[in-house]
Amino acid sequence: MAKFREFAEICEILGKENSKKEKARLIGEFLRGLSPAEGKIASYLFLAHFPAGRRIFLSWSTLIDVLGEMFPLTPWQLQEIGAESVDVGEIVEGIYQRWNRYKSSGFSIEQVYEKLEELSVQGGKGASKKRKTILKGLLVGMDGLEAKYLAKTIVGEMRIGVQEGMVLEGLAYAVGLPLEDIRKGFLLFGDIGETVETFLGKGREALLNLSLKPFRPIQPMLAQMAYSIKEVFEEMEGEVALEFKYDGARVQIHKQGEEVRIFSRHLNDLTDAFPEIVEKVRKNIKGDAIIEGEVVAMKEGKFLPFQDILRRVTRRKEVGKMRGKVPLELFLFDCLYSAGESLIDKSYEERWRKLEEIAGGIPLAERRIVSSVEEGERFFKLALQAKAEGVMAKALKGVYTPGSRGKLWLKVKKSSTLDLVIIAGEWGYGRRHNWISDYHLACWDRERKELLMIGKTFKGLTDEEFQEMTERLLSLKIREEGKVVYVKPEVVVEVAFNDIQKSPRYRCGYALRLARIIRIRDDKKPEEADDIQTVEQIFNSQQANL
Ligand code: ATP
């Protein structure tokens, strides 16, 4: 039986190791010595992650309270230790060392995990006291190193540089299978712990088990960004399916018999938050199925802000009250499994057909099959008029690729534009090494008569335009620092972007997300470029639309 102390020791080593490859090997060696059930636990602990979005509701102050009961700690001592330490784990270890607590508990990792599970479900009256008792029961028997890693797990910050991908790599090493197979397994199992447990237990045979099963959520397929309908047609040939891109919460719904469960984009269980969706699915969907869709908040035919759905998720305890305030609608867009058969290897067309067949009265996403840019743009306009976020373009022959952000799905969102001034550019790399290609973009602070940088982009120009822009900027050069060429602010460009974020990166306090140049505005003088007030206005309206 693996001891928690051994887990703490390997974490200590991993935290000091810089090579990712070596880290993965060390994880592999460790996993190899564990039973499948222990492997599952160790993988959760490495990542301080618990299945199905479960969290440990313990704060740093609770931890300190418990330590205060165990050690004669004065506030200044705590402050002193805190000042010398970089994280919670080290603070706790420091306290243990000060009182020479070097005796290990002998707890197994399973015993510790069991207690952590108890901590994650403790709620209601007297819960805080119960939590403290459980925590104390663990800490009292531990030595400094064990307590350090227990504390890190509890606050959810391991700081040992281990990510999911590294655990998968370690697992591949431990069971001697190609990483690709392990990744495939992970995408279908959806959960790191289950992946580790299954592969440690069954080795290669785990791959035979890789079919979809209701109530085992899988990583969702993701979309790449396209900046226009024109770009969609450059990526996809012939006919393309365009669907409204609703601005809500993505859900993966599993139904078997009368039982229905709803999972979020990150595979957290949302079933309790959306009881009316559960009822609707139970009533309408024909047979066992795994389907996907977007849940949106809607009142009198109008979409409500995205925050409203979030309220439905965060205030689950008041679900009855929230149901009246925030009515939900579901739009379906995919079917991954129906009546015992996995459909992820079938084409989008076939999956859509199946969805139509089984959806009953539940609406599918508004959709059109289009075959030209003009037709696509018309539908895109329609989507924006309906207050959708944009459109999703889907390749008709495309299969469902769990967890990957490929080109079989492209998203085109509405974008705003700003006229900005180029104040500098950077020499490019690779193919662009002869061009000044990454442009620093600025808007006006008219009061102070100064230009404020708000973003950078190298996107949007053709090779020929890069060439011309390079010559033009060199003729405007003020000075060069490293790869940055500062220029007189004369060139105005129209820049599209997806949204504006608050950001400390630039002095103006904002940054453009996914900026790209759509036009060089030779018809505009630099003084005519947009100012920070306009940026603020767009930012504020964006917030209102969320
Ligand atoms: P975003 O922040 O743009 O929503 P994302 O990273 O969450 O992106 P992507 O796969 O890149 O996910 O974009 C598709 C997202 O759009 C889905 O996650 C889903 O929530 C939402 N969506 C809305 N309508 C549809 C639709 N008809 N088909 C697929 N996804 C849709």
Question: Which is it for the CA torsion 220, 221, 227, 230, positive or negative?
Answer: negative
User: What pLDDT score was predicted for residue 53?
Assistant: 55
Q: How far is the CA of 526 from the centre of ligand 1 (A)?
A: 37
Q: How far is the CA of 16 from the centre of ligand 1 (A)?
A: 38
Q: How far is the CA of 222 from the centre of ligand 1 (A)?
A: 7
Query: Mean pLDDT, to the nearest integer, of 461-479?
Result: 93
pLDDT at 119 over 90: no
- The rounded percent of the chain whose pLDDT value lies above 90 is 59
Contact 489, 526 (CB under 8 A): yes
Nearest residue (by CA) to ligand 1, atom 6, is 222
Residue the block writes with tokens 């700081």: 159
Query: Mean pLDDT, to the nearest integer, of 120-126?
Result: 71
Q: pLDDT grade, residue 324 (50/70/90)?
A: confident
Could you say which of 152, 213, 245, 414 is catalytic? Answer: 245
pLDDT at 545 over 50: no
Other C-beta atoms lying within 10 Å of the C-beta of residue 297: 23
Q: How far is the CA of 372 from the centre of ligand 1 (A)?
A: 23
Mutate to test the pocket of ligand 1, among 232, 251, 294, 367 (most ligand atoms within 8 A of CB): 294
The pLDDT tens digits for 151-194 are 998 877 888 999 999 999 999 999 999 999 999 888 888 789 99
Q: pLDDT grade, residue 85 (50/70/90)?
A: low
Query: Mean pLDDT, to the nearest integer, of 78-96?
Result: 75
At the second CATH level, the architecture of 417-544 is Beta Barrel (2.40)
Report residues whose beta carbon is within 6 angstroms of any ligand 1 atom: 222-223, 243, 245-246, 250, 265, 294, 333, 365, 392, 411
User: What pLDDT score was predicted for residue 156?
Assistant: 79
State the CATH class of domain 48-155.
mainly alpha
Residue 245: active-site member: yes
Query: Mean pLDDT, to the nearest integer, of 31-42?
Result: 97
Q: Rounded to whole angstroms, how far apart are CA atoms 451 and 444?
A: 5
pLDDT at 52 over 60: no
Q: How far is the CA of 297 from the centre of ligand 1 (A)?
A: 16
Q: Rounded to whole angstroms, how far apart are CA atoms 242 and 282?
A: 28
pLDDT at 208 over 80: no
The letter for the amino acid at 321 is K
Q: Give the nearest ligand 1 atom to 334 CA.
A: 28
The pLDDT tens digits for 473-505 are 999 999 999 999 999 999 999 999 988 888 888
Choose from 25-34, 58-67, 209-218, 337-346 the range with maximum mean pLDDT. 25-34
Contact 370, 376 (CB under 8 A): yes
Nearest residue (by CA) to ligand 1, atom 2, is 247
Strand-pairing partners, residue 535, are none
Query: Taking Cα atoms as reference points, which of 14, 37, 35 lies closest to residue 25?
Result: 14
Residue the block writes with tokens 């924006």: 384
Domain ranges of the chain: 48-155, 222-413, 417-544
User: What pLDDT score was predicted for residue 546?
Assistant: 35
Query: Mean pLDDT, to the nearest integer, of 253-270?
Result: 93
Contact 296, 329 (CB under 8 A): yes
Q: Rounded to whole angstroms, how far apart are CA atoms 187 and 13?
A: 29
Mutate to test the pocket of ligand 1, among 263, 384, 392 (most ligand atoms within 8 A of CB): 392
Contact 8, 30 (CB under 8 A): no
Query: Mean pLDDT, to the nearest integer, of 292-316?
Result: 84
Q: pLDDT grade, residue 408 (50/70/90)?
A: very high
Which CATH superfamily hosts domain 222-413? DNA ligase/mRNA capping enzyme (3.30.470.30)
The secondary structure element, H or E, covering residue 480 is strand 477-481
User: What pLDDT score was predicted for residue 538?
Assistant: 78
